[in-house]
Amino acid sequence: MKRVLLSAMLFVAAAAGGAPLAWQDSEFARVAETDGEFSRVVYRNPERKSFTLKLAKPLELARDVHRVTFWFARLKGDFELSFIIRDAAGKEHLLGGYSSRPSFHTIHYDAMHEFSVWCFYENKTDFFTPENVTERIREEVLPGIAPIVEKRLWPRPFELVGLRIQPAPGPQTDEARHDVENIRAGRGEFWLKTPEFVTVNGLDAKYNWFMRDRLRAGLDAHRPKIFPDDLTGEQGKIRCRIEVSPGYQQPAVWRAERVFEIDKSRPVELFRQAVELPELAPGIYEVKGKTWREDGSFAEARLMRLYVNFGSNAPEVAPLAPAGTYWESGRKDHVFPAGTRQAELVLRNAGKNDCRIEVRDWLKRPVRFEVVQRRPEWKVRIPVEDGTDYTIAADLLREGRAVDRAELHFGVASPPAPAEIRPVPANVTPYCDYFKTGNLSVAADYWEEMFYSNWEFGDWPRIDYEYVVEHFDRWIDRQVAPRRKNFSAVTLKPIWHGMEPLPGVFRFSEMDRRIRFLRDRGMKYNLMPMPGSGMPEVPWWWPDNQPVLTQYGYPLNYGSRAWFGLQKMPTRMPFQSFDAAYRTGFRTYFEELLKRYAADDNLHSYILIYPNFMDYPWGREPTYVDYSRAGQQGFANWLKSQGRKPEPMPRVFTLPDVGAGETGPMLSSGMRDFMEYRFSIYTEVYRDVIALIRKYDPVRPIVLYNRHMPNAIEPLLPVLRGKGVAFQHEDSPCVSSLGLASMCYLAGVPFQRENHQFVPTSTLTIDSDIFYGSVYREPWLWTYRWHSRMKGDGLRALPSLDYLAACYPAIREWIAAEPDEPEVVVYASKTDQLFRKRDTTFQNITGIEPFLDLFSYKQIPVHMKSEYTPWVKLDRFKLAVVNAPLLRESAMLELAEYVKNGGRLLLIGNAGEFCYEKPELRHELTRLLGRENPDVFRIAAKKNPLPAPGGAPFGDWFYDPETYETVLEAAGVKRRIRLEHPDGTLDRGFETVRKQKDGVIYAAVQRRSAGGSKAILDEAAAEKKYGRAATRVVLSGLPDGDYLVEKFHREARRIGVLKSVGGRLAFDADPVRIGELQLYRITPQ
């Protein structure tokens, strides 16, 4: 794949001489004042609907412009801003984007006041077509699609025509939330700086940076700015010192002294006083600011982290001599050796001042506090403990006022772990028993615990005694321990960044305390060393902690206003085997955990996170990552290992206002190499992690938790088989998880689920968990998690957990039975999902549409396979279904052989139109099958109205039922259970599963949860909206005779002895709400 080079020029001023743009007053907004290149806009729109402030004269943009950037400062109200451009055809386009405005969850409320009033905005992706777009279309787009794609281009030239203002509909979770009166009245006021225009992709920029603590990013001439109000909340005349240091608590390499006049009501003056940081070499930097008031008293100190992704190759700058007061430990990284009982620290440059010294441990508990009179030498000796870190702060006092402050984070190393591998206790549950069919297990998950964030109040993040200790203990004692029989274990998350705050200093003491706390209450624990983001969450001191970069060269979702706040953390995308952070730091840390806890008989299992490799696919352009320096090097190393020459990472071809999949499959050689790299890297990584665990623990179960948006799952399954590893899916309870459950079942890999809407708050959710967790023959394994977003609903869930305990006997009986073996398989295509749809969400794998349609709307047991599951043989099925336009040649050959040997094939829409290995060909599958093959059926890819009560989650495809019934009959597919309306037609509002054991027949009948798992969180609301409905259960293929029919779940009762005539037995199920499950036992007499 050829790398496209863009213009080296970066920013173009919008108006000559930095003059402000001329705006035309509108009904709702006007420019009240101008000051050089700044304009003050005031608006009022009582209906709070979006409106446009037009330019008096449109501004023509240069041909190579493809991004708009601007600064704005909010004074009143709350709003979203975005520019509007017009193309040569007269069509206007809204440029939505990112803003550095602080919002929750990215920034906690208490920290928002530290942000400057000035915020940076940039449109989200490269909306403007590059000059060489025609060349890229020729290289990236299939010939047959290229003319269609070319018609979708925005014709040049472009004009900037206006600014779209969207008043907030109500108080948001950002820094404006207290301005309630103006927000509700639709009033607002802000300063706007003349926009600038970007003409280079961020990966091609010579200088590329990201300031994590201010959510700002920039390229080349747009250097990092430090505004006066970034440094202090004080007003008036303020003296400041700004220092830049490479790494964590290292000496400064750049320093500036300034005097500011701070008045937040005058943002233009703040902007003009901003300090621009110098160009730096690639790496991590701390930007430290200290401020003093006009009377010389110390105001405050603030810290911001700066990541230079691409930068100067200038020689390393020598450290500067320290300025002001500072602490000296005399130890590398300020870590004292294990066994130290008193740490000696020296305070330098204190002068002839009294000093107030305070020492706190990592839980913010006071260790020492004293006011020391002036003396010639400031040495402090502090009692310390192994494996503990501390913060010491010294305030220099003059006439009782603080005139300077020095702080230091220091610690004592943890003692080394035993060198020998200790045996696993004989009384632990081995994975063969835990994953045994018929086993039932639920884990309690305190999602944001262990130095991550606060589930009860939504803090982000916070570490102190109340949060770390008291909240956890209260959660266990109030909610979990009274229901200990419900749970197999409690998940503990000793995350690397929280557990090793300084090199070699491990906070094992709190981990050990929690383990004792659980043991005293008769509970075991799971060890999960990774946070929910799937990243190893690298500590700040780690020297190679680069942000994930998108294909545009920007940090992944760096803007605070982006929807999914969790992904704005500046950590690396984890677990690339070429990544130094994984290869050395995290693996070493994880091994320390194994050495310490693998021999603990209270440890139940291990949980690992399966991470994403791409940004979330919502919106127009899914972003392929990681394009950081390490990510690019990893790809180059992989090519080298394949005997290939290094090539640049490919970039996804996209067009403005065109869906990611609308430009056809991405089948360039570079993109195909990139995908194979991704698949192989995860397989290699988890093979390594599993081997590491098995080195210390060959016995306990391992759960590989994949988040609800993973990719490249199937190639990993053979690595898990026989290793005592289960795959866990987050998006349950819903039908879409059954596709993955099917693949795992057929691969011989246990499948575990997590309730996506957190710990169930209704018995309907519990019922759905029972049903979807038992479709195949497998253990019933779940994780229930408490989460900050529940906002107190954890207590509302307690009756549901009590209901679950009462259901255990019925669940055990139900899951011990054998389900009917499916006669239909959907041949899904991961290749189509990734290369054509450009989507990473597993439930969007191409093939999930007919899979859900068969199970949810047609009551047909079904399995799923893909091109990455060769262990699933087609000859065991009567019918195969394919709807993917893009297939690998191996899949096409396999399908053709299946039909040749007597199998029946249903093709939906343009299935098999493209061949992955032969992009120049069309309809290769049809050629292989023969156009008039009587064993090949076709139906249109047409969406029909969804049957009541509504669609299943992700199940918005309901294929023509009459045609489908004809195909099923021709293939000889039989329903051994069906649910009917009184007139005998199929009742498509219910889902069902049939099982049997020792001659006893079991039937599960669930009314489909329309609207997904959220629709059944509130039972009263669900019943009010959807009411109750009944159905008739019809069993076929039974020997004629008498059968005792009993309902043994949900108001158990004896229905009576019924006769089977002609192999058919029928009875009426009870009226139920959506999500409600009924289990029936049919025993021959």
Last-in-domain residue among 184, 203, 222? 203
DSSP assignment of 972-1040? T---SEEEE-TTSSB-TTEEEEEEEETTEEEEEEEE--TT-GGGGSSHHHHHHHH--B--EEEE-SPPS
SS3 content of the chain, % helix, strand, coil (to 5): 25, 30, 45
Residues 6+ apart with CB under 8 A from 944: 958, 959, 960, 961
pLDDT bracket for residue 463 (50, 70, 90): low
Q: Are residues 334 and 408 in the same domain?
A: yes
What confidence score (pLDDT) does residue 531 get? Answer: 61
Task: Indicate the pairing of strand 725-732 with strand 702-706.
Answer: parallel
11 pLDDT more than 50? no
571 pLDDT more than 60? no
Q: Are residues 397 and 496 in the same domain?
A: no
**Closest Cα partner for 1007 from 992, 1022, 1023, 1018?**
992
Structure letter (DSSP) for residue 955: B
Average pLDDT, integer, range 363-377: 80
Pick 900 or 152 by higher pLDDT. 900
711 pLDDT more than 60? no
What confidence score (pLDDT) does residue 459 get? Answer: 35
Q: 144-153, 565-574, 1013-1022: lowest mean pLDDT where?
A: 565-574
Q: Are residues 364 and 507 in the same domain?
A: no
pLDDT bracket for residue 6 (50, 70, 90): very low
CATH number, residue 350? 2.60.40.3580
Q: Are residues 607 and 696 in the same domain?
A: yes
Last-in-domain residue among 380, 412, 444? 412
What confidence score (pLDDT) does residue 295 get? Answer: 95
Strand blocks (E) in 614-722: 702-706
User: Which residues span the domain enclosing 338?
Assistant: 329-412
Would residue 257 count as lying in a domain? no
pLDDT bracket for residue 901 (50, 70, 90): very high
What confidence score (pLDDT) does residue 125 get? Answer: 64
Would residue 681 count as lying in a domain? yes
560 pLDDT more than 80? no
Q: At 885, give phi and psi (nearest 5°).
A: -65, -30
617 pLDDT more than 50? no
What confidence score (pLDDT) does residue 495 get? Answer: 83
Would residue 420 count as lying in a domain? no
Distance CA 1009, CA 1003 (A): 18
What confidence score (pLDDT) does residue 136 get? Answer: 76
Q: Are residues 347 and 460 in the same domain?
A: no
14-70 confidence digits (pLDDT tens): 443 456 789 999 999 999 999 999 999 999 999 999 999 999 999 998 888 878 899
740-754 confidence digits (pLDDT tens): 899 999 999 999 988
Are 741 and 782 a contacting pair, CB within 8 Å? no
Structure letter (DSSP) for residue 746: H
Identify whether 147 is preceded by a cis peptide bond (ω within 30 of 0): no
What confidence score (pLDDT) does residue 370 get? Answer: 83
Share of the chain above pLDDT 90, in %: 57
Residues 6+ apart with CB under 8 A from 941: 883, 908, 909, 910, 957, 959
Strand blocks (E) in 157-297: 159-167, 187-193, 196-198, 208-211, 216-219, 225-226, 236-246, 254-262, 275-276, 283-293
Would residue 61 count as lying in a domain? yes
Q: Show the CA angle centred on residue 1080, arms to residues 1078 and 1084, nearest 5°.
A: 175
Distance CA 190, CA 163 (A): 13
426-454 confidence digits (pLDDT tens): 999 999 999 988 888 999 987 655 544 33
Would residue 455 count as lying in a domain? yes
Average pLDDT, integer, range 1052-1061: 96
pLDDT bracket for residue 5 (50, 70, 90): very low
Kindly report the average pLDDT of the chain as a whole number: 86
- 485 by DSSP, 3-state: which? helix
- The residue count for the chain: 1085
Average pLDDT, integer, range 975-1003: 97
Q: How many domains does the chain have?
A: 4
Q: 246-255, 469-478, 716-725, 1059-1068: lowest mean pLDDT where?
A: 469-478
Q: Are residues 60 and 12 in the same domain?
A: yes
Q: Are residues 481 and 404 in the same domain?
A: no
Residue at 42: amino acid letter? V
CATH number, residue 764? 3.20.20.80
Q: Are residues 351 and 484 in the same domain?
A: no
116-155 confidence digits (pLDDT tens): 999 998 877 666 555 567 777 877 788 888 888 888 888 8
Would residue 938 count as lying in a domain? no
Last-in-domain residue among 819, 843, 860? 819
pTM of the model: 0.90
486-527 confidence digits (pLDDT tens): 899 999 988 888 889 999 999 999 999 999 999 999 999 999
Q: Show the CA angle centred on residue 438, arms to residues 436 and 444, nearest 5°.
A: 85
What confidence score (pLDDT) does residue 598 get? Answer: 97
pLDDT bracket for residue 787 (50, 70, 90): low
Q: Are residues 387 and 512 in the same domain?
A: no
Would residue 655 count as lying in a domain? yes
261 pLDDT more than 90? yes
Q: 448-452, 537-541, 724-728, 799-803: lowest mean pLDDT where?
A: 448-452
Q: 428-442, 706-720, 891-905: lowest mean pLDDT where?
A: 706-720
13 pLDDT more than 70? no
Residue at 993: amino acid letter? V
What confidence score (pLDDT) does residue 230 get? Answer: 97
Q: Are residues 446 and 408 in the same domain?
A: no
264-319 confidence digits (pLDDT tens): 999 999 999 999 999 999 989 999 999 999 999 999 999 999 999 888 776 778 89
Distance CA 878, CA 753 (A): 29
Pick 933 or 836 by higher pLDDT. 933
pLDDT bracket for residue 460 (50, 70, 90): very low
